[in-house]
Amino acid sequence: MDSFIFQNPTKIIFGKNTVNKIGKEVSVYGKKVLFVYGMGSIKKNGVYDKVVESFKKFGISFIEHNGVKPNPVLSHVKEGIRKFREEKCDIIVACGGGSVIDEAKAIAAGINYNGDVWDFFINKSKIENAVPILCVLTLPASGSE
């Protein structure tokens, strides 16, 4: 058996109205967010407004990266990487279910990589580092947490 070290620095904040704490959690990492979400259900159900209100309360600015599709597409991931870099963001906040969180993870991995993010998926390269991601889960059945 190979020796290894596994560290999983996951923090889960669970409970009623915890979405209101996202701004405070983000402020630990910086002041500018790439805000990743799907096709707009978070606007219909009120989660978007709660997240934005919390960002504002803690002086967090954000760049929206919406339109994540079920089973995210590579071109949209690359667009997120471009936005993050150009806007000089500090952190990613993914708000949604599994597809949104999966796309956010791909963006986070690709930001500090000089090659094509697809290289990670075809085992051409390994992820050496990634920017921080915070998630506001809207679908607990996704298992992404």
Report which residue type is found at 108. Answer: A
Amino acid at 79: E
pLDDT of 4 > 70? The answer is yes
Helix, strand or coil, per DSSP, at residue 61: strand
Q: What is the pTM of this model?
A: 0.91
Site of tokens 């919406």: 66
Question: 80, 34 in Cβ contact below 8 A?
Answer: yes
Separation between Cα atoms, residue 75 and residue 51, nearest integer Å: 26
Report pLDDT for 61. Answer: 98
117, pLDDT greater than 90: yes
| Residue 92 near residue 85 (C-beta atoms within 8 A) | no
pLDDT class of 75 with cuts at 50, 70, 90? very high
pLDDT of 144 reads: 56
Tell me what the pLDDT averaged over the chain comes to: 93
Mean pLDDT, residues 25-50 taken together: 96
Residue 5 predicted with pLDDT over 90: no
In this predicted structure, the answer to whether residue 142 has a pLDDT above a threshold of 80 is no
pLDDT, position 25: 96
pLDDT of residue 8: 79
The pLDDT of residue 145 is above 70: no
DSSP string across 68-133: PPSS--HHHHHHHHHHHHHHT--EEEEEESHHHHHHHHHHHHHHT-SS-THHHHTTSS-------E
* Residue 143 scores a pLDDT above 80: no
CA distance 96 to 13: 15
Q: Three-state SS for 10?
A: coil
